[in-house]
Structure 1
Amino acid sequence: MGGDAGMRAGERFTDEALAKIRHELRQAQGREVLFIGHLGEDQRIARVEVGARGTAEEVPALYPHMERGDVVIHNHPSGLLEPSRPDLSVANTLGQQGIGFWIIDNAAEKVYAVSEPVIPREIQTLLYEEAVSSLLLGGAFSRLLPSYEAREQQLELLKLFVRGLNEDGVVVAQAGTGVGKSFAYLLPAVLWAQRNAEKLVIATATINLQQQLFEKDLPFVQKALGTKLKTVLVKGRRNYVCPHRLAEELRDPADLQSVGELTRLADWAAQSRTGAFQELTSPPSEDLWSRVCSDVDACSGVRCAQAESCFLAKARKEASAASILVANHHLLFADLALRVEGLGFETAAVMPPFQRLIFDEAHSLEKSATSYFSGEFARPLLQKQLNRLYRKRRGAELGLIPPLRGLFTQNLNLGEIPGLISALTTQLEATDRLLAEALGNESSLRLTKEQSAWWQETMVPSVYSLQKPLSKILHLCDDLAEAWEDQEERPSEVQELKTTLRRLEGLAQMLDRFKNWDGLAQDIFWFQKGRDALGQTFITWTVSPLSVRQVFQDAVFKPFSTVMFTSATLAVQGKFTYWGGRLGLDLVPPQRRLLGLFPSPYDYSSRVVVGIPADFPPPDSEAFTPAVAEYLSSLLTACGGSALVLFTSYDALNKAYTAVRPALVEAGIPVYRQGDEDRSRLLERFKREVSSVLMATDSFWEGIDSPGETLSLVVMVRLPFRVPSEPVLAARLEALKRSGADAFMSYSLPEAVMKFQQGFGRLIRHSADYGAIVVLDNRLVNKAYGQAFLASVPETPRWVLPRRELTPRIAEFLDQWRKRERPLPKGAKIEYGSTTQEEEGYGYSG
């Protein structure tokens, strides 16, 4: 189908469709009408419906009412079929969704096809035998890696993923360490994208896995299959330098001492291909990067004077041309939130539109979704927007307000804004002090009915005092933006002002939600202490969803043809009830649900032991803390280090570190503590020092991959139950109790079991690994629920012995394996998951 301006309408429309169009145009009496056309079997428009009616000059284009393969048709009453600039803009937007855009004259006799629709292709399903052939002996994998050996669990897992794609299923697959889950979903994903020209998104929780997939696994799979699909690692906008903000900062630096660093950044940006932070060999400080990176609040999009050199725009253009996108969970939720809020699933948001979705590291999704879909208000958030409006630096007026003053704005009282900002800032500090006083020594506080009187009598008046100056600022800025709308030429600051207004309105709405809190809300209202860059305490006001079940229904399960979830830890005692229930998997039609458990192929029964000191004090006793310090000193010294010690609180971690460190240092064992260095440097040091000990909490229970002799002992000080007073957890436990459920058995216990599984999984990363898990919390064997923990990890020998007997047994076990598994010489072949390769080779862990 061409785009000839003089093409007869009869060539593109059936008679019935043209008759309806002409009838509607006569009724419109010279006004524009927007039609949505549907193609028939002969690829002509066979059916039309009116989507919108407008004026003689314009008509709204209602994107959500159109689908891929449709055609948007509208008339030009003038009879001229030349597309206007707005026409071309709409055609470009619709074209990204596969929707065509045509213009007809007022008599519906001629048509000009600005862009053609993308005809939906018939889906070509995958044959399991075709997908698995690469993994079998003599297949492409073994040709590229001669020692590669497929495992039965991996082949069965791949079969489940193939079914998920073919049957538009929702796949939930727990795959133990060493199964090779990455290759099991990448193989069918690449074949599917190649065959059906559909975009797939793979979302992970950690940067390490994203890089592994993008830099190693995907290229290897494509090489094995002989495909050349474009793949892109999608990053958040803060990863890119903004040329406009960098130029502004150079003109007027916030810190004169940073001029040299800014100049080096500018030189780098001029030569950089991507403008990505990861390219920098000597990264700037976090404070400096925050002033020059891409920021949604400071972005004027296509209206920006430096739009052509925008690194973020280039990255998004790259993504739109890719077949497979690799992203993190947070970025994916940012994309899905925009789509659910009205943008739709057929147009570009943070990412281009896509059809199939794979979640790796899916065990953390409830936490990620809760975090993203929570609303926040805090002094630094508001101060950032106020500074964008107006600030003074070294006597000069800066921000958006000064350059937007003009003759036609003199009656707007813009001179009030500095005073209003000052009053609002003062009130913010006073409100923070009131909240800090209420929190006392606690780090967080949830609003419950018990706080109703305090909230109404003390805090609501303070909220009103915040709203009064903020409301005036909003009105003045709104009037300023409206005044500029009447001007033919508008500077880029007008668009930036509108963006800042939207952010301020969002923060004002958060204040309104808190002001109107009555104790009956379903959402969770809570406060948390934080510190700003200057070390000053501030309070974050947060509204979190009580449940993310509906979020997953609207944003994940319903809109996407295939959704696949995988992780090493999704099931508790072999069932997905807890994890699936939290995300609303039970609301998915049963015929779409495809579930599978694929245990690790590693030899846990001979290479791992679990030790529990039978005579250890209970964790709630006063004797527990000193016993931890004493036993860790003797155990870690006897075993020669190479240990990861996992705590459930920073307080317990710091006390143990202080008590244990002298004995370990004296024994020549390096000891590191979470928080002393950033995570990546800390892990590098831990891996480099074979006998070292790393003491950590929370995030270190998962995501650590330290194979070989670096890690042969994992100590869990307590079973990882969360503190029940944490605001979100407390609210969810109360909701379960109100529904008649056993909150401990249905939430607290399975959540702790999944965390325990993650900690357990730090030990064995490859088939040659060995080691011991020691749990100091004797509830594991003394409480009936302890069986839930033990039944959810691979079966191993369990030694429940007094401390004086357990320590030498553990040390002897490790010593025997160390003698048996001598380190291989450099360049020797080592096994990684389901592959074997040179030590300095690819480093696959597929």
Structure 2
Amino acid sequence: MIKRKIVVVDIETTGFDIYNDEIIEFAALSIEEGKEAETFSALISPRRQVPERILRLTGISQEELRQAGSLQTYRDKILNLFQNAIIVGHNVEFDLGFLEHALNIHFENTLWDTLEITRILYPNMNKYKLGDLTKSLGLTPLVKAHRALSDAQAAWELLQACWEKGLTLDLGFYQRALAIAGNSRVTGFLRELEKTTRRKFPERLIPTDLVLYNQDLGLFEEQKDEEPFSEDIGWIEKCFSQGGILENKLKSYESRLGQLQMAKAVGESLISSTHIVIEAGTGTGKSYAYLIPSLWWSKTTGKKVVVATHTIPLQEQIFKKDLPILAQVLPFSFRGVLLKGKSNYICLKRWLSTLSITTELDPGERLVLLSIMVWLRETTTGDWQEVSQIPNLGKIWGSLNCEEESCIPGKCSQANRCYMLQARKRAEEADLIIVNHSLLFSDIRTDRNILPEYHELVVDEAHHLHQSALEQLGNEISLEQISRVLNLLSRSMAGSFYGNVKARAQLWERILSVALWERFRGYLEKLPEACDELYQQAEELFATFEQILGKELSYRLTVHCHKERWWQTVAVQIENLLGRLKVITDLLKAMINLLDSQDDEDSAALAHEISGRIRNLEEMRECFVLAQQVDQLTRVSWLEQSNRILLKTSPVDVSSILKEKLFAPLDCAILTSATISISNSFQHFLREIGLNESTTSLLVDSPFDYDHQMQLMVVKDLVDVDQDELFDIEKVALFISEVSERMQGRTLVLFTSHRFLREIHLPLSRYLEGSGIELLAQGIDGGRQAILEAFLDNPKSVLLGASSFWEGIDIPGDKLSCVILIKLPFGPPNRPLIAARSEYLEAQGRNPFYEFLLPEAVLRFKQGFGRLIRSKSDRGLVILCDGRVIHKRYGRYFLSSLPVRTHIRTSRSQILDKIDSWFDEEYQKELL
């Protein structure tokens, strides 16, 4: 390690606010000349009450803090420690900020942040919290998490791990990295690493070319020797039966009747070339139930099978967990690949172009480049999900990925090592291709020009298929998208069409002849001004959109808008925008016409790029044109705002498109999910996605014993149907608090709107004050992932979640013992797509409530209900606060769609008594 004085610090505080919170513990390690670290730590007495959550998190007691000294007591000690030292810490600015404010001093020391350094040298970590990094890197586990001395020791060990990793890098990395880092905090650390590397490894080469992971494995790993296996479908049944391959080769595997039923049905559908829809309850093991028959089918017929999932986690699970296990278990070898859209892969040509303009990037973006430089030396896929946790990556990824119209793979200088081309080549050779719903529909939109030819498809998480189709087959545009398209077209810097052509002016003058080049350049020079005019018009239009939206999150454009005073303004603005758009496309087409007279490769490549730019502009034009067709029942257009304003337009009914474009070309489609039936019927799902209602279907029950593992309770007296809002906020908050206290936390509360969640939060926090139960609310106490992790860390908590918590979270065991569903999850009737869909059905003489709103709510309800029982050992309660399920005629559809035969319906007070008795019963079972 380096021979300078290093002090590693960490503090514990009462909160995150430098001006209002206080330090309660300080610790430091002092290391000089590489000698063994000297340690110092002290508890600090705060002037304010320490929150219960902080005491629980740190394990420090109020009594210990009362007996501790003030920070000023240790002022001289700290100043002496820091003298002439490099100060190191994990997110060190946080620690130094508190210390400087508390001591009223400013430290001039050099700072090394292990959080920043680790993100650069270990760019593919899933999490960068100190405890997570120590586990991932195999360092000494934290002795006491959230204690200053333990955290300081971990940060020191982490810095040493980064140092050792840094010494393995080539000197070419440091030459380029130091230029990119500039005067940032990491520069000193990198410079020390470079000096040590030069000294210790004087023979190490300094590569000047692009350095990538040295991989020479061919497309696939060597295939294993195959054992004989039957090509008869009976092999599938034997595989899943007792004493079969899975039970013999997987220690923890248990033969399950439902899984066997599903696997057999999948195999039969593949053989008979028929479509099938399967609902497989939680715990069925549906991934194996479709993967094994699919792989068997591919090996026996030589045909590819495509598996499409909705979420990235399931994609990753299949590719990184399920397939490697099956590769060891199954008697035959197979080739499975994960294929994603172009925007997921880094483009090496664009990467090199970006490295030439680093001075135009802000400091945060430059740190991202350093992370990518390390990542490229390690990745075999070039898939940005591997480094998705790096801050600011999203800001520049759009200029680094393969989603670029100028890309001509056959002509690219980096084609032989292009990650996207390698992935597509693997897909051509594969037996099983794993994609997501988005890529599936992108393939449809491009007339099947993305995926290799296939005729067998498995759609997992199929309950998302209809919504994915609406999103992917619709159009949307934002001012930011327009800006990006225009910048890539007309900026003067490298990487844009205009900049690249100008930079090669001498080449084009030679290729096109002086006269032809002058005409071409004449059109080219008009581009920047034409693009500026278009952007100014777009700014004006989106400013009008902002006024129309006001404080609303969405605004639907309908025929009634013709009566609004702003409609004519918008119409004129769009007309002007389309006119300016045409000016640009005409300029580009004129350039293509000049290039068409040439027969050289460079001209053909440039013409191809220009054609791509025109396609981008035509897609933009199409969105504005379609959005104005507000008199069509089959289409809906609306404005939407979150962190930006979007103009969106979508077909209302995609069933016919799916029938023709997705299912008709297939021999077999297998669609599966845990939630696609309603009262044991698949009618709604089949109708929405365009399949005949006579399509084969299978309902596979979950292996869980819901009637013994959980109790469903319906509160009869919380809803007031005479109120527009249905609920009294104070009553609901009180009820949640009473349930949570009886459950000692361990409670997830699901809301149908963020607004109602926020309204409940304040009174609920008041009721829970002093109970020792931590309240975690989505959007108030953190985002989805942050509060989910906090809930897992502290089971004595209650988590309030909105829409994203109704599915996709898995909390097995006793950390979650109660799920409270506040309201039946009907979609907001005024949401543009829902309102338009309802009107469309009404126009056909159909009942939108029973054919659309109710079925969608039932499916959502099943998803929320399914959060509780995730394994055979899970136990608990689901409480529904919405009494309409028993007062309204439609309530039976909700209850009959659940995997429980009985439920309790009673008043709030009696439900609280039932919880107490349930606890007593559970206690007795534990004693037995």
Given that 2:630 and 2:637 are in contact with CA atoms closer than 8 Å, whether structure 1 keeps it comes out as no
The one of 122, 141, 144 equivalent to 2:246 is: 141
Residue in 1 that maps onto 2:529: 419
Change (3 A) 1:278 1:617: closer
Partner of 2:279: 174
The one of 463, 468, 473 equivalent to 1:368 is: 468
2:924, 2:661 → 1: CA distance?
53
* 1:246-288 Cα deviation digits (max 9, x unpaired): 1111111341423343144224314432222243496352213
Deviations for 1:407-432, whole angstroms, at most 9, x for unmatched residues? 43433343332222222222212111
Structure 1's unaligned 5+ residue stretches are 1-123, 344-348, 533-537, 824-846
Q: CA deviation at 1:665?
A: 6.0
Q: For 1:618 and 1:551, how far apart are their aligned partners in 2?
A: 42
What pairs up with 1:589-628 in 2 under 5 angstroms?
590=694, 593-618=695-720, 620-621=723-724, 623-628=727-732
Flag the 1:677–1:328 CA change in 2: closer, same or farther, 3 A: farther
Q: What is the correspondence of 1:645-664 to structure 2 with a 5 Å cutoff?
A: 645-664=749-768
1:13 aligns with: none
Contact 1:646 1:715 in 2 (8 A): yes
- The corresponding residue for 1:478 is 589
Distance 1:518 1:774, change over 3 A: closer
- Higher mean alpha-carbon deviation, 685-694 vs 601-610, is at 685-694
How far does residue 723 in structure 1 lie from its aligned partner after superposition?
A: 0.5
Which residue among 561, 572, 577 is the counterpart of 1:466? Answer: 577
Displacement of 1:607: 1.7
Question: How far apart, CA to CA, are the structure 1 residues paired with 2:316 and 2:373?
Answer: 27
Residue aligned with 1:275, SS: coil
Task: Give the Cα separation in 2 of the matches to 1:760 and 1:807.
Answer: 20
Equivalences for residues 663-682 of structure 1 within 5 A: 663-664=767-768, 666-675=770-779, 677-682=782-787
2:330 is aligned with 1:241: no
In the alignment, what sits opposite 2:793?
A: 688
> Corresponding residue for 1:570?
676
Does the Cα contact within 8 Å between 2:630 and 2:636 map onto a contact in 1?
no
| Residue pair 1:670, 1:692 contacting (<8 A) in 2 also | yes
- Please say if residues 463 and 675 of structure 2, whose CA atoms lie closer than 8 Å, have aligned partners that are also in contact: yes
* SS of residue in 2 equivalent to 1:292: coil
What is the 5 A alignment of 1:644-793?
Answer: 644-664=748-768, 666-675=770-779, 677-793=782-898
Distance in 1, Cα, partners of 2:527 & 2:251: 71
Q: Which of 377, 381, 399 does residue 274 from structure 1 map onto? A: 381
User: What secondary structure is seen at the aligned counterpart in 1 of 2:240?
Assistant: coil
1:549 to 641, 655, 666: 655
Gaps of 5+ in 2: 1-228
Shift of 1:213: 1.9
Q: Is the 8 A contact 1:250 1:263 kept in 2?
A: no
1:286-685 equivalences in 2 (<5 Å): 286-297=394-405, 299-339=407-447, 343=448, 349-391=449-491, 399-400=499-500, 402-403=502-503, 406=509, 407=514, 408-411=516-519, 412-454=522-564, 457-487=568-598, 488=600, 490=602, 494-515=607-628, 517=629, 519-520=631-632, 522-532=634-644, 538=645, 540-586=646-692, 590=694, 593-618=695-720, 620-621=723-724, 623-664=727-768, 666-675=770-779, 677-685=782-790
Structure 1 residues 632 and 362, CA gap change in structure 2 (3 angstroms): same
Shift of residue 579, structure 1, vs aligned partner = 0.8
Match of 2:235 in 1: 130
1:96 aligned partner: none
Deviates more, 1:165-174 or 1:627-636: 627-636
| AA in 2 matched with 1:329 | H
Cα displacement string for residues 544-575 of structure 1 (whole angstroms, at most 9, x for unaligned residues): 11111112112222111110011111111111
The verdict on how the C-alpha distance between 1:630 and 1:305 changes in structure 2, with shifts beyond 3 A counting, is same
Give the conservation status (yes or no) of the 8 Å contact 1:722–1:752: yes
Q: CA deviation at 1:627?
A: 2.1
Aligned residue for 2:355?
Answer: 250
Structure 1 window deviating more from structure 2 (415-424 vs 694-703): it is 415-424
1:711 CA drift (Å): 1.3
Deviates more, 1:323-332 or 1:669-678: 669-678
Amino acid at match of 1:528: E
Deviation at 1:215, TM superposition (A): 2.3
Asked if the contact 2:633–2:836 (Cα under 8 Å) also holds between the matched residues in 1, the reply is no
Judged with a 3 Å threshold, the aligned counterparts in structure 2 of structure 1 residues 125 and 518 are, in CA distance, closer, same or farther, namely farther
TM-score by length of 2: 0.69
Change (3 A) 1:686 1:497: farther
* SS of residue matched to 2:681: coil
Q: Distance in 2 between matches of 1:511 and 1:374?
A: 12
Secondary structure of 2:680's aligned partner: coil
Q: Aligned residue pairs: how many?
A: 680
CA distance in 2, matches of 1:703, 1:148: 24
The verdict on how the C-alpha distance between 1:598 and 1:501 changes in structure 2, with shifts beyond 3 A counting, is: same
**Deviation of the 1:146 alpha carbon:** 4.4
Question: How much does 1:435 deviate?
Answer: 2.0
Q: Report the alpha carbon displacement of residue 203 of structure 1 after superposing the two structures with TM.
A: 1.0
What is the SS of the residue equivalent to 1:232?
strand
Alignment-mate amino acid for residue 390 of structure 2: P
Alignment-mate amino acid for residue 606 of structure 1: H
What is the alpha-carbon distance in structure 2 between the residues aligned to residue 221 and residue 526 of structure 1? Answer: 46
Amino acid at match of 1:414: L
- Helix, strand or coil for the counterpart of 1:795? coil
Contact 1:665/1:671, CA 8 A, preserved across alignment: no
- 1:197 pairs with 276, 287, 302, which one? 302
Q: Which has the larger strand fraction? A: 1
Q: Percent identity of the aligned residues?
A: 31
Measured in 2, the distance between the counterparts of 1:134 and 1:197 equals: 20
1:761 Cα shift?
0.8
Shift in Å, 1:440: 2.7
Q: Find the aligned partners of 1:268 and 1:756 in 2 and give their Cα distance.
A: 42
Shift of 1:393: 6.5
Tell me which amino acid in the other structure corresponds to 1:389: L
Equivalent AA in structure 2 for residue 553 of structure 1: K
Secondary structure of the equivalent of 1:597?
A: strand
| CA 1:787–1:416: 2 relative to 1, 3 Å | same
How much does 1:699 deviate? 2.3
Q: Deviations over 1:704-759 (max 9, x none)?
A: 11111121111111100000111111111111111111111111111100000111
Q: Deviations over 1:87-127 (max 9, x none)?
A: xxxxxxxxxxxxxxxxxxxxxxxxxxxxxxxxxxxxx9964
Residue 87 of structure 1 corresponds to which residue in structure 2? none
Is the contact made by 2:751 and 2:802 (CA closer than 8 Å) also made in structure 1?
Answer: yes
CA contact (8 A) 1:617 1:627 kept: no
Distance 1:479 1:320 in 2: 38
Q: Deviations over 1:797-832 (max 9, x none)?
A: 422222122123224424643664699xxxxxxxxx
- How far did residue 224 of structure 1 move? 2.8
Contact 1:608 1:797 in 2 (8 A): no
Partner of 1:90 in structure 2? none
Instruction: Tell me, in whole angstroms, the C-alpha distance in 2 between the residues paired with 1:819 and 1:706.
Output: 24
Of 296, 318, 329, the residue aligned with 1:213 is: 318
Aligned equivalent of 1:809: 914
| Bigger mean CA deviation after superposition, 248-257 or 748-757 | 248-257
Secondary structure of the residue that 2:254 maps to in structure 1? coil
Report the CA distance shift for 1:247/1:204 in structure 2 as closer, same or farther (over 3 A).
same
Tell me the amino acid that sits aligned with residue 625 of structure 2. Answer: D
> Aligned partners of 2:397, 2:802: CA distance in 1, in Å?
29
Partner secondary structure for residue 399 of structure 2: helix
Letter in 1 for 2:321: K
